[in-house]
Amino acid sequence: MSEYAFLLAIAGVLFFGAMSPGPSFMVVAKNSLSLSRSHGIATALGTGLGVAIFAVLASLGVTTLIEKVPSVYLLFKILGGAYLLYLAWRIWQGAREPLVNVDVGSESDTSVFKSFLVGLVTQTSNPKTALVIAGIFAAFVPADPPANTALIVAMVAFVIDFSWYAIVAVTLSANKSRAVYQKAKFGFDRTASVFLGAVGVRLIFLEA
């Protein structure tokens, strides 16, 4: 099993990367607070799958293409930034809407699935995530990796990212957290909107 020791370093980098605040945290927090625990966990499932997809693409060399070909990276940046700006606008528009209590029995598959898609698209719209995963492969994966390395790294990435954001979802969907959010919904939503909008603008216009 020593041939897989490099996975410990990869897991550590992925863990601290997942914990760093960013668009993924914002959408998981927003859906957990404003909708329900199920919606938050579904969003976390989407962000975890997004990281796993990038891990598979990195193993195939696709993320290197994003890094090395300026036109591909530029397109990725514009599309990702545009999505974040759209998401920011939606949250800004809904800031004055009252918090709706969603009962477990009334949750529709479509709304939970939408939360999953929000997490997935938010994660995969960020080219920096792709480059981080590509850097992890370049730095830690041996030149002659053991069997199934790409699959194992993808699974590790998914488990770490999903587990962290599932904890966030469970914590923020608790009644006390939702009660606090209900009182501060306008300010929280507008702050989240400004944050996501700023990330989107930076992604399109400022990131190299």
The predicted-structure confidence for 35-54, as pLDDT tens digits, reads as follows 889 999 999 999 999 999 99
Residue at 201 is within a domain: yes
Contacts of 113 (CB under 8 A, 6+ apart): 42
Residue at 194 is within a domain: yes
Q: Which residue has the higher pLDDT, 205 or 52?
A: 52
Residue at 116 is within a domain: yes
Contact 27, 43 (CB under 8 A): yes
Contact 55, 153 (CB under 8 A): yes
Residue at 37 is within a domain: yes
Residue at 15 is within a domain: no
pLDDT at 186 over 80: yes
Residue at 5 is within a domain: no
Q: How far apart (Å, rounded) are the C-alpha atoms in residues 108 and 172?
A: 21
CA-based nearest residue to 22, from 100, 128, 102: 128
Q: Which range of residues forms the domain containing residue 145?
A: 23-206
Residue at 16 is within a domain: no
Confidence of residue 112 (pLDDT cuts 50, 70, 90): very high
Cα dist. 22→9, 34, 105, 165, 178 in Å?
22, 18, 31, 12, 21
Average pLDDT of the residues of the chain = 86
Residue at 78 is within a domain: yes
Q: What share of the chain has pLDDT > 90, as a percent?
A: 46
Give me the number of domains the chain comprises: 1
The predicted pLDDT at position 58 comes to 85
The whole-model pTM stands at: 0.86
The predicted pLDDT at position 113 comes to 93
Contacts of 21 (CB under 8 A, 6+ apart): none
pLDDT at 155 over 70: yes
